Amino acid sequence: MKHTEKEIQLLKDEVKLMWKLVISQLENAKKAMLNNDIALATKIIRNENDVNTFELKVDNLCENFIALNNPVAIDLRLALSLIKISSSLERIGDFTDGIARFITDKECETLDPDLIERLNIEKMFDTLLGMLLDGFVAFETEQTKVSEKIISKDDQVDEIYNNVFETLATHIKNNPAQTICMLKLLLLIRKLERIGDHNNNIVEEIVFFVDARVLKHSGSNNF
């Protein structure tokens, strides 16, 4: 393997490690949320620092790679994409940390499991985890055939998000003492919706890296 190819492999490996950590954080957030597992939520908060460290490391590796190797074509697209992918992964890490902090919030200790089910939060988590995993596989195999499918999953997340308002409003009306907690829950669901957006951004970067196509701001017409 040539020197440049080793550097590229190192970059990819580092991002994949970061990706796996973020997937694990989101999986744990789902478990902690559904089981009200404060210990697991605390672990997520503790690990958040590692996600941030990964972002700095990937940025640094990409900067060095660009400065020292003058990459062009697919190598340049890889470096540019990885900077953005790691930034999106870091944001997903931040949102997951926010979810964990909600779980440890004393004010919202007694959430009604039926309400969580009616809000479709588990499905939201599962869809987001699917997007994140499919994106990882697309990046690892450099196959973009599934990109349209991944991006369309974000519509499912958006649909769930758009349906929560009425459910929450009714719940607040019937349980006014829980208003603050419900508002915090709405913010949590908003974080999940934003994770979907970042998953989309990641897929767009994979398509740019592999196919040199720009999907950003183009709707779905470019597939």
Tell the smallest beta-carbon distance from residue 72 to other proteins (Å).
4
Residue type, 52: N
Say how far apart CA 191 and CA 10 lie, in whole Å: 31
User: Element (H or E) spanning 144, and its range?
Assistant: none
Tell the smallest beta-carbon distance from residue 211 to other proteins (Å).
8
Binding site for other proteins (CB under 8 A): 2, 4-5, 70-77, 212
Query: Taking the alpha carbons of 126, 88, 28, 142 in that order, is the dihedral positive or negative?
Result: positive
What DSSP string runs through 62-84?
HHHHHHHH---HHHHHHHHHHHH
**Closest to other proteins by CB, 82 or 168:** 82
Report angle CA 26, 63, 52 to the nearest 5 degrees.
25
Tell the smallest beta-carbon distance from residue 212 to other proteins (Å).
3
**Closest to other proteins by CB, 136 or 209:** 209
**Closest to other proteins by CB, 21 or 79:** 79
Tell the smallest beta-carbon distance from residue 78 to other proteins (Å).
10
**Closest to other proteins by CB, 90 or 204:** 204
Say how far apart CA 116 and CA 69 lie, in whole Å: 51
Residue type, 182: M
Distances (CA, A) of 21 to 7, 27, 154, 166: 21, 10, 21, 34
Tell the smallest beta-carbon distance from residue 136 to other proteins (Å).
24
**Closest to other proteins by CB, 65 or 95:** 65
